[in-house]
Amino acid sequence: MATLEIKDLRAGVTTDEGRKEILKGVNLTIRSGETHAIMGPNGSGKSTLSYAIAGHPKYEVTSGEVLLDGESVLDMTVDERARAGLFLAMQYPVEVPGVSMSNFLRTAATAVRGEAPKVRQWVKEVKDEMTKLEIPAEFAERSVNEGFSGGEKKRHEILQLALLKPKIAILDETDSGLDVDALRIVSEGVNAYKDSGDAGVMLITHYTRILRHITPDFVHVFADGRIVESGGKALADELEENGYVKYVGTTV
Ligand SMILES: Nc1ncnc2c1ncn2[C@@H]1O[C@H](COP(=O)(O)OP(=O)(O)OP(=O)(O)O)[C@@H](O)[C@H]1O
Ligand SMILES: [Mg+2]
């Protein structure tokens, strides 16, 4: 069992024009076994929330708490957060020229698991997961995300998820830019991860189509830096129908 508690989280950035508050008091609890979909207008702060939890240095937390099983995540380094069981699949995955996918995955798995995986077992594990995600073998020797298409990058995020098996996974628009077949494959990857253990998922998305493959237990509307409404799956359909008009401009 794992629980991620986000309590009154406030965070922002410092720009040339000064301080900019982006998160304005986010409250959310995700328990293992639960999938929470976060939906909201562009620029409302969804990616900032994921970065603040993962520990991106650009985003300064000004108040509030993020607890993983009662431990303060905000006091941990980025590495420690990953080792504690947090995973972020980024909206725009970064390219790392000169580092092969296979080296990157092994290094990450070694860090998260606390010991280097046995070579033969590891090769099989990676190969199996790549096959499931229909990722051609040659990608293992390509530099991390370099020159990958949008959809290829997203599949590789799920490959990491499958291999690292975090307690809590934050998936930031993992469905964006996927063709229908890739959407199904990626969704199956997320569902397999959910089924493989007691995992909690925060799924940031703009589209209900992924929610036909991955069933959310909760849907939250994110507007102007915080969650302004929560409900079940039906809320996603309502948002698709009516948009965010009723939520925008209503927050302080
Ligand atoms: N490093 C930064 N410098 C200046 N402004 C920033 C920075 N990062 C985020 N912002 C601003 O904060 C707001 C929230 O951005 P964020 O990326 O979190 O939105 P989002 O909800 O993920 O949007 P989208 O749905 O388009 O992905 C935006 O107005 C954005 O321009
Ligand atoms: Mg975003």
Give per-residue pLDDT as tens, 96-116.
999 999 999 999 999 999 999
Residue nearest to atom 9 of ligand 1 (CA): 48
pLDDT score, position 251 = 47
- Cα angle vertex 200, ends 224, 70, to 5°? 85
Asked whether the predicted pLDDT for residue 252 surpasses 90, the reply is no
CB 218 within 8 A of CB 34: yes
104-125 exposure pattern, b = at least 16 Cβ within 10 A, e = fewer: bbbeebeebeeeebeeeebeeb
- The protein residue with its alpha carbon nearest to ligand 1, atom 28, reads 43
From the alpha carbon of 91, which atom of ligand 1 is closest?
A: 27
Cα(22) to ligand 1 centroid in Å equals 8
Beta strands 35-39; 200-204: pairing state: parallel
249, pLDDT greater than 80: no
101-113 and 119-132 helices cross at what angle (nearest 10)? 110
- Predicted pLDDT at 197: 78
Q: How confident is the model at residue 58 (pLDDT cuts 50, 70, 90)?
A: very high
220 neighbors 239 (Cβ within 8 angstroms): no
User: Is residue 71 scored above 70 in pLDDT?
Assistant: yes
pLDDT of 104 reads 96
Read off the pTM. Answer: 0.95
What integer best gives the mean pLDDT of the chain?
95
Dihedral sign from CA coordinates of 244, 28, 45, 236: negative
Amino acid at 227: I
Residues 142-176: pLDDT tens digits? 999 999 999 999 999 999 999 999 999 999 999 99
E strands, 17-107, where? 18-31, 35-39, 60-68, 71-72, 86-89, 96-100
- C-alpha 84 – ligand 2 centre gap (Å): 24
Q: Which two tokens stand for residue 106?
A: 């092994």
Residue 236: CB atoms within 10 A of its CB come to 22
Lining ligand 1 with CB less than 6 A are 13, 15, 20, 22, 40, 42-48, 58, 91
